[in-house]
Amino acid sequence: MKYLKKSKISTKLTFYFTFIFLCISVLFYFLLPSLLNYPPHTINTKFDKDVSGLYYIYQYIIAITVVIILFTIYFKVSLKKIDKWQKNKTTNIETILDIRKICFRFPYKSYLILEIVPVTIVSLVLGLTGAHSEILIFKIGILVFSFATLLSSFFLIISRNILYPILRESSRYINESDTRYKIALPAKLVFEIFPSILVTALLIALIGYSRLTAEKGNLICTYYKTNLSNILSSNIETDNLMQYLNDNFSNLLLDTEDFIFIENSNGDIITSNNSELDDFFIKYMHELSSENDNRVYETYTVDAQGVINTFTYNGETYTVGIHYRIVSSSLLYYFLLSSALLFLFNLIILFYITKSLNSDINTVVEGLNEIISDENNVQIHRLPITTNDSLGELAMSFNKIQELTKNNIDEIHDNQEMLMERERLASLGQLIGGIAHNLKTPIMSISGASEGLNDLINEYKQSITNPQVTVEDHYAISNDMLEWVTKIKSYTEYMSDVITAVKGQAVTLSENLENSFTVEELVKRVDILMKHELKNAIIYLKVSLLVDEKLTLHGNINSLVQVINNMISNAIQAYNGETEKTIELIVSKENNNVIISIKDYASGISNDIKDKLFKEMITTKGKNGTGLGLYMSYSNIRAYFNGNITINSTLGEGTTFNIILPLL
């Protein structure tokens, strides 16, 4: 079994088909003679070989072998692509779609072929070997068809189970369902339930027919045997034996097709209606009737039989018999027609049941599709309850789940906004220390400038009445005062920039501020807000502008600054406390997009985490991270700039985040 698990799909299916086919064939081997009421001593005997040319078992083995060989070839050819794909595992979409097409169609295609091929092969074998009447071949064909249908049903289930792993594995490479190969549910259910109905109808018909003919044959045989014995035990006083039998037996015949026959010691046979006896009948009469209480059969069936009696008349031995027909072929057709009508009636009922079930399922599917089409999940699409069965309960349960889901989604949205606001405020809080430091330097400088300016003012007052102070001295003092005023002005402008940057980061996320800004303004704000954190970490920010610094961007500058600062902070933390490292901030242009890249040379990010960064709230900082930063950054870039964020990272070499902003 371990070898079978690792073997090709075609090999597995061939094995299971052969195993099931042989099991059913062994059962059928013993049932066939019983169901068809084969005459005694005609199976696998010298008589069987003389009449048929081959023993029954050899005919059976030939038919089985041919079927197994043909289906082995069929499996190998039909599943060749799957065997090849199972070995190579190519990701070519067209190849995968072909593989899935075969997987979907093969079980049902095999189902139909399994019903046709065995019947055809058995009919050919019977037609080429011996004395098999058309009615007998027809009966055997019906039995083979019923058992082949049963085999098809088993193989349908097994083949689908074996092909299921292929469908499951191949589904990873496609993004759409294979609607081109979809099988309607009513057709699928009919395929799966059809065998039990068909086999039941056919077997009931044949078993009923078989038992009826057997019982009727026994009664007629006893009747004719008794009457023939009584007539032949009387004194016969005529030279015309046939005339005598006709006169005494004609009123005892049960059917107009029944007739009397006489065989003399020379083997000549005459009949009361001038018909000829079948070779099978004559051979059985000569060789096997004595072993069967003088009962004779016309062929491998009980439809026509005979009873004989041997006696001596005028010194010559005669064999006198009655040939009688138990049932006409029309009775079999009547049974089959009744079964066919019953089967058709059940099939129609089954079709309407499956159609009704399919309609109920489609109602649920349509309701689910409406829910899927509502991308924002802002409405509750209640599924209509059209039945009071399990499907109705499913619709009711789904409606309740949908209400709970809607409430949970609303709560999640509220919590998400709250978490994102907390993250933003936490980031803002981290800036406070840097802001205090950034403001402390210009304030101290302004204070020093004020004192210097105050000294100059006092000096100027004293020089007004001093005749020794020249005009040149007055110009010198005024220039010094102007220098201090210029310094104060630059310090206040810097403080204004800091306040503007801080104020922008204090704006809530719900405020969608659409404005225009330049690359220069963007870089200035980033530098102001990140200067203190970079200084404390002893990390250097290298800015490379590969575009015009006056290039205008459109969107919410505060959100973009927050995104860039978050990525720079992540880069700082990626160095794990190492100092004298560099982070690059590169602004470039490609096609109609501005690309802002934040690049570090730290340890990098694994592929597992990289694939989830912008889809889930995931963090690499352990207990120190919330996972909101990059998730929120991606959301902001998508929302405020209709842009995108990509990541390139190599373990041990570093990480680059690319913010892609389309230009208007």
- The pTM of the full predicted model, rounded to 2 decimals, is 0.55
pLDDT given for residue 135 in this prediction = 72
Query: Which residue in this structure is represented by tokens 């902070």?
Result: 569
For residue 341, the one-letter residue type is: L
Q: What is residue 617's three-state secondary structure?
A: coil
Residue 636 near residue 559, CB atoms below 8 Å: yes
- Residue 13: is its pLDDT beyond 80? yes
- Residue 427: is its pLDDT beyond 60? no
Distance CA 285, CA 297 (A): 8
In percent, the amount of the chain with pLDDT more than 70 equals: 73
pLDDT given for residue 628 in this prediction = 45
pLDDT band at 320 (very low <50, low <70, confident <90, very high): very high
Closest CA to 282 of 271, 233, 220, 138: 271
Give the tens place of pLDDT for each residue, 149-177. Answer: 888 888 888 888 888 888 888 877 775 55
What DSSP line would sit under 475-526, residue for residue? HHHHHHHHHHHHHHHHHHHHHHHHHHHHHHHHS-TT----EEEEHHHHHHHH
pLDDT given for residue 486 in this prediction = 77
DSSP state of 580: S
Torsion of CA 632, 633, 637, 640, to 10 degrees: 50
pLDDT band at 331 (very low <50, low <70, confident <90, very high): low
pLDDT given for residue 286 in this prediction = 92
- Residue 336: is its pLDDT beyond 70? no
Residue 261 near residue 323, CB atoms below 8 Å: yes
Mean pLDDT of the chain: 78
Average pLDDT on 47-59 reads 86
pLDDT band at 103 (very low <50, low <70, confident <90, very high): confident
Residue predicted with more confidence, 263 or 500: 263
Distance CA 108, CA 78 (A): 13
pLDDT given for residue 184 in this prediction = 60
pLDDT given for residue 343 in this prediction = 65
Give the tens place of pLDDT for each residue, 563-581. Answer: 888 889 888 988 988 989 9
Closest CA to 399 of 410, 416, 386: 386
Give the tens place of pLDDT for each residue, 571-622. Answer: 898 898 898 999 999 999 988 899 999 999 998 887 777 766 665 544 444 4
pLDDT given for residue 323 in this prediction = 93
CB atoms closer than 10 angstroms to residue 341: 11
Parallel/antiparallel/unpaired status of strands 539-545 and 581-590: parallel
Average pLDDT on 396-420 reads 67
- Residue 500: is its pLDDT beyond 80? no
Q: Helix H segments across 575-645?
A: 607-610, 628-641
pLDDT given for residue 624 in this prediction = 43
pLDDT given for residue 130 in this prediction = 62
pLDDT band at 451 (very low <50, low <70, confident <90, very high): confident
pLDDT given for residue 452 in this prediction = 72
Average pLDDT on 436-457 reads 69
DSSP state of 603: S
Distance CA 121, CA 252 (A): 44
What DSSP line would sit under 160-208, residue for residue? HHHHHHHHHHHGGG-SS--GGG---HHHHHHHHHHHHHHHHHHHHHHHH
Exposed/middle/buried for residue 518 (C-beta within 10 Å: 0-12, 13-18, 19+): middle
Closest CA to 519 of 468, 595, 583: 595
Give the tens place of pLDDT for each residue, 621-646. Answer: 444 443 345 767 777 788 778 888 88
pLDDT given for residue 458 in this prediction = 78
Distance CA 535, CA 436 (A): 14
pLDDT given for residue 414 in this prediction = 65
- Residue 208: is its pLDDT beyond 50? yes
Structure tokens at 404: 């709970």
- Residue 329: is its pLDDT beyond 70? no
Residues 298-310 as b/e (b if ≥16 CB within 10 A, e otherwise) read bbbbbbbbbbbbe
Average pLDDT on 209-219 reads 84
For residue 437, the one-letter residue type is: H
Average pLDDT on 113-131 reads 80
Structure tokens at 494: 């810097």
Distance CA 276, CA 271 (A): 7
DSSP state of 466: -
pLDDT given for residue 625 in this prediction = 41
Backbone torsions φ then ψ of 657, nearest 5 degrees: -100, 130
Residue predicted with more confidence, 623 or 511: 511
pLDDT band at 332 (very low <50, low <70, confident <90, very high): low
Closest CA to 550 of 532, 530, 570, 523: 523
